[in-house]
Amino acid sequence: QLKTLPWLVAPLKELGAVGMIVPMVDTYISLQKGTVDGMTGACSTLICYKFADVVKYVTLLNYSLPAMASRFMNWDTWNSLPPDIQKVFGDNIEWWGAESDNELAKVSREGIKYANEQGVEFIELSPEDLDKFYDIIEASALKQAAELDAKGLPGTEIFKEARRLVEKYTK
């Protein structure tokens, strides 16, 4: 049983694992007590949530999610801001995204370092096994895109654009 995100439950099932939705606040204790056998997550959680204290192994899947460095504000509050302040937010979107990416990369490196210090073993899958994982994830994403298409939303179009952007910006 793996603590995971909702969109990974079906792909994990296809790989023979049981995905569970567990709040992050409960994950450390769930790992410690064996309520879950593992989790899917970023290497940053190894240090930020101290998961390296309660796991013995990390399998590197070499996929990532976008950082959730979002800003939320009540619409009425936004509209109450003077235009010059709204402009500051708008003018700094690119900076915010770049800084978020840099910080996520930094804390991921710190998580790996911390996990190594705790004796966590890192496992790298073969290219063939990674391809199998990626194929299942992509098939699941395409299925979700088709479900959005059926609702009159541009799911497949968004998926294709996301793939194009990944190819363009992947380092």
Per-residue pLDDT of the chain (171 residues; tens, 9 = 90+): 999 989 899 999 999 999 999 999 999 999 999 999 999 989 999 999 999 999 999 999 987 665 555 667 899 999 999 999 999 999 998 898 888 888 888 999 999 999 999 999 999 999 999 999 999 999 999 999 999 999 999 999 999 998 998 888 876
The residues, ordered by sequence, that sit 6+ positions from 72 with a Cβ below 8 Å of its Cβ are none
Pairing of strands 57-60, 121-124: parallel
The pLDDT assigned to 93 comes to: 85
Domain that holds residue 130: 126-171
* Domain contains 169: yes
* Domain contains 137: yes
Farthest-apart Cα atoms in the chain, separation: 55
- Our count of domains for the chain comes to 1
* Domain contains 98: no
